[in-house]
Structure 1
């Protein structure tokens, strides 16, 4: 009985305490804040929306400042719109070509910068691959427009010039600048990775040599058709080899591509102190914008090549092999020199040799396949003069890379070799180019 009476007495107290607790909760700061939020929800939402819009505008202006207004080279960017204006008003091919070249130069450099920023989020190995890919985007875009216009020799010579420029001028500039900064020691790089890349370059030379030899020895079963069929088959094989190389590089043998410092330890090649200046999505957006603008200027550039050759009295082979790749490789050249001066020679070699490997094993076969789809007879017969130049260049570079060390003298030798190549193409007459053929003497 006592227990029952105590229980009955406690029930109203419990109900009263619960009611009091609910009343207090209704008047608590949290509940008041919720009520205030529900009453002023629309006003608060508009304030937060304005705040987010302000942050978005600030990020856009900051990204524009870093990418567009910060580099001094971007003073050449107005040359791109000027090329479009000159083409529409006067149509002078020499000026259109010259202004398009100057307009593409800062775009190619900024394309390399955006790729470098993206590499902070992807890692060193994937970053080097991205750098080589987007560094070659300019040449590939120009090649696709040239294929569209049926200018197969311009495609062949511009891609060949890109390989020569990367292997001699870009790598030589990196070795030379790094050797001057660190003149009291020999810089080292990963010899194993360089040997694998040299082997791929020799495979590319093999793919280009056999169609040329087949053509000049007149040993084709079906004249004209066998050479093209061999080129397309070899291109498919080279693409398979390049895909296998990517798997080998990114998956199965990652340790082979780690940087080697002076003490012999492995690092990822990118310092932990460096931080990205723009976000990953900003890098992707800028890559899209810059690629689209380069595509537009490339169309004007390709249309004006032959007219510029006549106006400047300059062989079209020299324009395609020397001038176009120097502009297209501006990003690789700047990146390779910058890495070498920071004693990151593995990244310099990766950019220069990796870009050459990608052009030879992916860019050239890709253009053959694209020409096949377009109905253009693009083949791997780069003619005897161009094929011999590529073979000698690959052998020279492979010989200099075999010991895994670098100094300024090696860089000077490579750059002087590039001067010899440039002079050779300046006096070279392309037998398949109508523009380069000298006019017959007057009777």
Structure 2
């Protein structure tokens, strides 16, 4: 049976060919006598400024270059109500930087202010990425928007790995363990919390929301593949722990993680090629249909946009601020874990993903509310897959290059939650429709995981409580990423 989205893609291509044929056969007015005698009856719009970069009509700003007044006004208005509300937090950014340098001993205040300041900075990166994405074709735009939204995550992972110290009494927090938890936490936050709110937002206006099987099936299959790939090193280590030399087992597990990271990146590149080259017609038809159904379509057409130059400037400013705030947050994680007793599993699984993914979540929920569920679902699944197939593997490769033992040897608890979540979401996506009940269930599952993570003990606490337990690594030089496995 032929899918309606395949039919729509064929019809779109046929319409484009017919339009091209008409354009080649239409006569061109070359003299003044062939022009209309009463031009004052025509409503002629001034042409947009010429640009060296071909801009899609949906992303055309009508301006070129950089205009400070328009630049700040467009950023303040942002793309939706939620983003405009987030912009209220901008005064926290200079406050966080001021407290960091003026009162470095106020560690809790620095962490809280930096945590809040990350939200508007990430929102700026996401908004600038949106403006840039609207200037290119739909499929490439969705991928570009997801990529720019993930820059915050990549920066956080890089800073954590760069500031890695081997576990010791002075450095009880293992940054690689936090990165591993953050990889899975980012996947869970997007796949459960964000998707759940998308289903709830869409349910405010309609009983059921339908989406394309092209988006859901490709995303579900890749999610399961990514979960399987991430589980291989942990399964290898757990199966042989206690039956094989520990140091040799760690070395082999790290090598497996590095090989798996390369394979997952290859899988992501194939997925991008699938979307942009061989099946781009189908995806274009799906996204175009969503754009036509968008409840805010006319409002978006009237909205102001950044120019290409302004988008690049906003991205540069946002990335710079995100990097500074990320360094501040990472510096204070050890204080939060050691002095305040917060579980590093909770920091990695819940706290870091929520703040780094805030902008992407707001955008996806807004699209779902406006009846563009395919675009929202593509953003959710695309962000999830980008973390699992690109950002997480990049963290392993960065650690490989810096000589840091960053691998995919996850906590069994974290990995079990990931695989169960993938199965749950895949079941919700199978029928190509959603409602607010499924959204509430996704959010409840995420909250349950968060409660468990908050009570999960830190690896060094386990070692202190059970120093003679054979399942806990006791040697200081090997009490790293595997110290908490049991």
Whether TM exceeds 0.5 here: the answer is yes
Structure 1 residues 233 and 438: alpha-carbon distance in aligned structure 2, compared to 1, 3 A threshold: closer
Displacement, 1:294? 0.3
1:251 aligned onto 2:259? no
SS of 1:137's partner is: helix
Q: Does the Cα contact within 8 Å between 2:215 and 2:374 map onto a contact in 1?
A: no
Check conservation: 1:201, 1:361, Cα contact below 8 A: no
> Please, which moves more after superposition, 136-145 or 166-175?
136-145
Q: 1:216 to 1:255 in 2, by over 3 A?
A: same
From the superposition, tell whether residues 415 and 233 of structure 1 become closer, same or farther in structure 2 (CA, over 3 Å).
Answer: same
Counterpart check, 1:192 vs 2:214: yes
Deviation at 1:270, TM superposition (A): 8.4
Match of 1:147 in 2: 161
Equivalent residue for 2:429, pick from 376, 390, 401 = 401
Conserved? CA contact 2:193–2:446, under 8 Å: yes
Give distance in 2, aligned partners of 1:91 and 1:256.
56
Q: Which residue of 2 aligns with 1:173?
A: 197
- Corresponding position of 1:41: none
Alignment partners' CA distance in 2, 1:257 and 1:310: 48
Instruction: Give how far 1:388 is off.
Output: 0.7
Deviation (angstroms), 1:86 = 2.1
Q: Is the 8 A contact 1:108 1:330 kept in 2?
A: yes
* 1:188–1:260 Cα contact (<8 Å) kept: no
- Cα deviation, 1:76-116, whole Å, max 9, x if unaligned, reads 22322222222222333222111111001011122221111
Which residue in the other structure is 1:305 paired with?
333
Residue 240 of structure 1 corresponds to 266
- Equivalent pair of 2:100/2:110 in contact (CA under 8 Å): yes
- 1:325-344 map, 5 Å: 325-344=353-372
1:75, distance to aligned residue in structure 2 (A)? 2.6
Q: Is the 8 A contact 2:192 2:443 kept in 1?
A: yes
Superimposed CA distance per residue, residues 340-398 of structure 1 (whole angstroms, 9 cap, x where no aligned partner): 11100011101111100000000111111111001111111112111111100111001
Structure 1: stretches of 5+ with no match in the other structure:
1-54
Match of 1:346 in 2: 374
Tell whether 2:310 aligns with 1:282.
yes
The residue number in structure 2 matching 1:73 is 86
Q: How many residues align?
A: 379
Q: Mind listing any 5+ residue stretches in structure 2 that lack a counterpart?
A: 1-62, 79-83, 165-174, 467-486
Are the aligned partners of 2:396 and 2:407 in contact in 1 as well (CA < 8 Å)? yes
Q: Structure 1 length normalisation: TM-score?
A: 0.80
Deviation string 1:279-329 (CA, Å, 9 cap, x unpaired) is: 122112101110111001100110101102234332121122111111111
Q: Please give the alpha-carbon distance, in whole angstroms, between the structure 2 residues aligned to 1:350 and 1:163.
A: 14
> Contact between 1:139 and 1:158, CA under 8 Å: does it hold in 2?
no
- Counterparts of 1:225 and 1:158 in 2: how far apart (Å)? 23
Task: Report the secondary structure of 2:131's partner residue.
Answer: helix
Structure ranking higher in helix proportion: 1
Find the aligned partners of 2:131 and 2:65 in 1 and give their Cα distance: 21
> Superposition pairs for residues 415-430 of structure 1, below 5 Å?
415-430=443-458
